[in-house]
């Protein structure tokens, strides 16, 4: 770590789960019940100090939990108002691109240079190092465990192999052991990021948001931008949505970025046309247009007060590692909707009503109604799946959810979140260690009996969005 602690800033943003509103939330006429998660992506920004006389303009981004995860960029001011454009420099024998990092740098640095020129003198972007640290639940440890046994890992945090010494059929450290044994918060993976198995908690949205927030905080004075203020969050939201869409090459509903910025909420998306006028990063006019769009009022609606959990109830998630293929699910559901507009509208409208009912049952602490409210949603989600030919709540997941609710006393019910499929379930459960232990026991025997690999993640639903962090949590990871 550098001696200049005062020039080191840390920010984190949470992952997401869409408890209700998958597919509907793509359309502004409907909304989604989104939970932020306790699993966060942290980004720490530091100045790079060079010896006197050495002139260096470089942005270094690294994910020290993974192999070959350093991305170095040179940068320049592009002609004709093209903004700040980065160019990846080679590290080692090859260039491993990271489009989410690269696009975020182009967008955030351009915004910083533009916004910084207004009330203050022209803003200069100095060299910086950005360190990314992701909480363990973003990646499935199981797939890495075999490799971990062979690979030697040292320094910094604990390795995956050392945290995976459990009796479970899966090598994921059980949620209770993560909590109780203080397993290292940031595991060291013996793989590259590309080989790590994601658990679908929205790592790219949390990364783009946290990286944008860290850059804004590092470079801009508080009087221009404070990500803790409502105005700062709005700028961050618009900037991160724009960068995330550009990196993904498509405009999704953006609920994942909204969760990263605002935390849990009832979310209504922005009109996709908001972003239509932003040209490609580095091309003529990009800088002015980006500033204008990011600083404009979007039609996004984020109702934070519509979402909360009853006291003593937690939102938990299980990773279901069946190797399902979810590509094309959205396309197929939307194709059915276009083909059968009337039937789809009736279904969408009723499902929206039931989704909102889940939100109010939870917010109003009507605990006794949770199970029925979730079942009512699942019924229509299955109907949507059957009608469109997409396994949104596949039979194996129906069986798992029903069995969890019937056999584990502290489980109120659950859903297959987001787009659905085979990968995960989200549960509303009693928030105590006994329930946690019983769920773990249940999923372990379920996995054995079904030949599948279901594991309870340590992650929990959490209300808070992006936040500034102190540096203690990153001890041993910073240069
Ligand atoms: N720790 C990290 N360090 C650097 N880049 C990361 C990190 N985690 C994720 N990313 C970036 O995000 C990409 C993964 O994004 P993708 O949208 O495929 O997954 P996700 O957001 O986790 O999934 P989902 O949308 O299903 O929840 C990676 O290829 C990488 O570019
Ligand atoms: C299907 C959709 O509504 C939700 C996808 O959620 P997830 O990526 O499965 O968590 C797509 C979207 O909202 O962008």
Coil, helix or strand at residue 268: strand
Measured in Å, residue 300 CA sits from the centre of ligand 1 at: 24
Q: Are residues 394 and 298 in the same domain?
A: no
Q: Are residues 246 and 384 in the same domain?
A: no
Measured in Å, residue 215 CA sits from the centre of ligand 1 at: 19
Burial of 58 (0-12, 13-18, 19+ CB in 10 A): middle
Q: Are residues 324 and 425 in the same domain?
A: yes
175-196 residues labelled b (16+ CB within 10 A) or e (exposed): bbbbeeeebbbbbbbbbebeeb
- CA angle, 380 as apex, 375 and 384 as ends, to 5°? 145
Per-residue pLDDT of 92-121, as tens digits, reads 788 899 999 999 999 999 999 999 765 444
Q: What are phi and psi of 415, to 5 degrees?
A: -145, 165
DSSP state, residue 219: H
Atom of ligand 2 nearest to the CA of 26: 13
User: Please, which residues have CB within 8 angstroms of residue 292's CB and are 6 or more apart in sequence?
Assistant: none
Asked whether the whole model's pTM tops 0.90, one would answer yes
Whether the CB-CB separation of 175 and 149 falls below 8 Å is answered with no
For residue 322, the model assigns a pLDDT of 67
Q: What are phi and psi of 322, to 5 degrees?
A: -105, 0
User: Please, which residues have CB within 8 angstroms of residue 87's CB and are 6 or more apart in sequence?
Assistant: 73, 74, 75, 76
Q: Are residues 441 and 330 in the same domain?
A: yes
Ligand nearest 100 Cα, by number?
1
Q: Are residues 168 and 244 in the same domain?
A: no
Ligand nearest 191 Cα, by number?
1
Whether the CB-CB separation of 63 and 189 falls below 8 Å is answered with no
Ligand nearest 39 Cα, by number?
1
Q: Are residues 322 and 402 in the same domain?
A: yes
In a domain, residue 273? The reply is yes
Strands 59-62 and 467-469, bridge-based pairing? unpaired
- Separation of alpha carbons 407 and 275, rounded Å: 48
The domain that holds 235 is classified in CATH as 3.30.230.10
Q: Are residues 154 and 26 in the same domain?
A: no
Strands 265-268 and 197-198, bridge-based pairing? unpaired
What ipTM does the predicted assembly reach? 0.98
Domain region containing 369: 310-462
In a domain, residue 290? The reply is yes
Ligand nearest 418 Cα, by number?
2
- Separation of alpha carbons 282 and 316, rounded Å: 42
Per-residue pLDDT of 390-435, as tens digits, reads 999 999 999 999 999 999 999 999 999 999 999 999 999 999 999 9
Whether the CB-CB separation of 114 and 288 falls below 8 Å is answered with yes
In a domain, residue 448? The reply is yes
Whether the CB-CB separation of 131 and 474 falls below 8 Å is answered with yes
Nearest to 400 by CA among 430, 431, 384, 378: 378
Measured in Å, residue 353 CA sits from the centre of ligand 1 at: 32
Ranges in the chain, pLDDT < 70: 1-6, 51, 117-123, 142-183, 322-327
Per-residue pLDDT of 292-301, as tens digits, reads 999 999 999 9
Q: Are residues 343 and 470 in the same domain?
A: no
The domain that holds 395 is classified in CATH as 3.30.70.890
For residue 124, the model assigns a pLDDT of 75
Q: Are residues 122 and 143 in the same domain?
A: no
H or E element that contains 319 = strand 313-320
Pocket of ligand 1 (CB under 6 A): 63, 98, 100-101, 132, 134, 193, 198, 200-205, 207
Q: Cβ atoms within 10 A of the Cβ of 122, count? A: 7
In a domain, residue 349? The reply is yes
In a domain, residue 10? The reply is yes
**Ligand 2 pocket: which of 20, 25, 272 to mutate (most atoms within 8 A of CB):** 25
Q: Are residues 159 and 215 in the same domain?
A: no
- Separation of alpha carbons 338 and 21, rounded Å: 18
Q: Are residues 123 and 235 in the same domain?
A: yes
Atom of ligand 1 nearest to the CA of 194: 29
**What would the DSSP string read from start to end of 432-459?**
SHHHHHHHHHHHHHHHHHHT--EEEEEE
Which residue CA neighbors atom 11 of ligand 2 most closely? Answer: 23
**What would the DSSP string read from start to end of 416-436?**
--TT-SSSEEEEEEE-SHHHH
Q: Are residues 153 and 222 in the same domain?
A: no
Nearest to 138 by CA among 353, 333, 354, 319: 319
Q: What are phi and psi of 37, to 5 degrees?
A: -120, 160
Atom of ligand 2 nearest to the CA of 326: 9
Q: Tell whether ligand 2 has an atom less than 6 A from the beta carbon of residue 23.
A: yes
**What's the domain count of the chain?**
3
Coil, helix or strand at residue 271: coil
In a domain, residue 479? The reply is no
In a domain, residue 22? The reply is yes
Q: Cβ atoms within 10 A of the Cβ of 277, count? A: 11
Q: Tell whether ligand 2 has an atom less than 6 A from the beta carbon of residue 22.
A: yes
For residue 35, the model assigns a pLDDT of 98
Coil, helix or strand at residue 465: coil
H or E element that contains 338 = helix 329-339
Coil, helix or strand at residue 19: strand
């Amino acid at each position: 770590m550098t001696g200049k602690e005062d020039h080191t800033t840390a920010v984190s943003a949470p992952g997401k789960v869409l408890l209700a509103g998958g597919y509907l939330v793509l359309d502004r006429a409907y909304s989604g019940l989104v939970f932020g998660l306790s699993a966060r992506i942290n980004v720490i920004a530091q100045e790079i100090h060079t010896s006197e006389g050495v002139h260096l303009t470089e942005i270094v981004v690294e994910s020290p939990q993974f192999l070959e995860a350093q991305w170095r960029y040179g940068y320049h001011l592009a002609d004709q108002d093209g903004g700040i454009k980065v160019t990846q420099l080679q590290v080692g024998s090859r260039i491993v691109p990271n489009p989410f990092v690269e696009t975020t740098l182009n967008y955030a640095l351009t915004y910083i240079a533009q916004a910084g020129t207004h009330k203050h003198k022209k803003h200069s972007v100095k060299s910086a190092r950005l360190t990314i640290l992701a909480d363990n639940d973003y990646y499935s440890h199981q797939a890495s465990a075999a490799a971990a046994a062979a690979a030697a890992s040292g320094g910094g945090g604990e390795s995956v192999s050392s945290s995976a010494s459990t009796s479970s059929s899966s090598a994921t450290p059980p949620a209770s052991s993560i909590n109780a044994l203080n397993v290292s918060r940031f595991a060291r993976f013996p793989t590259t990021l590309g080989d790590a198995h994601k658990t679908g908690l929205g790592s790219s949205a949390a990364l783009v948001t946290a990286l944008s927030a860290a850059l804004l905080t590092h470079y801009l004075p508080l009087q221009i931008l404070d990500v803790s203020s409502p105005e700062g969050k709005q700028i961050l939201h618009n900037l991160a949505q724009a960068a995330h869409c550009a990196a993904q090459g498509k405009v999704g509903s953006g609920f994942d970025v909204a969760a990263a910025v605002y935390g849990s909420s009832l979310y209504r998306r922005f009109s996709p046309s908001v972003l239509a006028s932003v040209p490609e990063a580095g091309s003529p006019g990009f800088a002015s247009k980006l500033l204008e769009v990011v600083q404009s009022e979007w039609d996004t609606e984020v109702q934070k007060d519509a979402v909360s959990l009853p006291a003593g109830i937690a939102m938990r998630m299980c990773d279901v590692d069946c190797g399902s293929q979810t590509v094309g699910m959205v396309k197929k559901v939307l194709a059915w909707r276009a083909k059968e507009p009337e039937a789809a509208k009736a279904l969408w409208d009723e499902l929206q009503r039931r989704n909102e009912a889940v939100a109010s049952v939870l917010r109003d602490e009507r605990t006794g109604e949770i199970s029925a409210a979730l079942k009512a949603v699942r019924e229509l989600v299955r109907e949507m799946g059957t009608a469109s030919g997409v396994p949104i709540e596949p039979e194996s997941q129906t069986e798992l959810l029903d069995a969890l609710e019937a056999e584990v006393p502290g489980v109120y019910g659950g859903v297959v979140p987001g787009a659905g499929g085979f990968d995960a379930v989200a549960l509303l459960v009693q928030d105590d260690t006994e329930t946690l232990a019983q769920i773990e026991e249940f999923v372990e025997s379920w996995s054995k009996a079904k030949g599948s690999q279901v594991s309870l993640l340590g992650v929990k639903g959490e209300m808070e969005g992006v936040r500034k962090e102190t540096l203690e949590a990153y001890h041993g990871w910073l240069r």
